[in-house]
Amino acid sequence: MDTNRSGVVIRRGRPAGPRTIGLVCAVAAAGALLSGCGSSGSDTASPQKSAAPSRAVPATAASPSGSLNADQAQRKALVPKAEVDYGQALKAAIAAVPSSEAIAAELKGTPASPYWDTVVATTDGTAYAVRVDAVSGKAQQPQPQSDDPDDKQQLAARLGKATVTAQQAAQTATEKTKGTVTTIELGDADHGNDTVAWTVSVVTTDDWNETTYEIDATNRKVLWMHVDQD
């Protein structure tokens, strides 16, 4: 683990797994997991001044020979097939569950059948998994998630703390690394202290690497970043 000149923690190896309450069961129920917003729509929340460093992360070559590893090849095959971006998928999921907020989306599937696994939740912490076709943008029937009172209470508290929207978090990440958002998820920050954070993964189409950022969901500060070249 290193720190760049802007003070952002740079991690080596693979990033930590999902932390959103109900995410694991949401993915399973949807058939397989980082806010009512879309990348092409207007954001009703007031933009917040980012505390994140402004220096963009440079792209890194796939390998000295220019060949792609298995993960890079998979991204190259799948990402261009998604005609619906994460923001449009989240809008479709929110429309399927009235009075909900989107808390997660991940691009999955095959090049022939790409889809978004999304998770939305109401303010009381009730979560629903919604699978959205990444070509047509059509949302399937929402699948209710955990009814455990503790899970719902935790998720409701997390939603109450988050003042940064999914789109604002994605914008912060793509200002650092130009590319396509493939995962966005609201969860607890790795360093604890009751901090709520968005995890955003961005795929760069010149090398098909995946850069993941953890972004404070209250001030848009980048807490750490990781470039997956494996």
Closest Cα to residue 206, out of 228, 178, 181, 171? 178
Q: What is the pTM of this model?
A: 0.74
Q: Are 68 and 208 in contact (CB under 8 A)?
A: yes
CA 122 from chain centre, in angstroms, equals 18
Q: How many residues does the chain have?
A: 230
pLDDT confidence tier of residue 228, bands split at 50, 70 and 90? confident
pLDDT confidence tier of residue 8, bands split at 50, 70 and 90? low
Type of residue at 157: A
Give the integer Cα–Cα distance in Å for 32 and 138: 17
28: pLDDT strictly greater than 80: no
Q: At 25, phi and psi to the nearest 5?
A: -70, -25
Give the integer Cα–Cα distance in Å for 133 and 191: 35
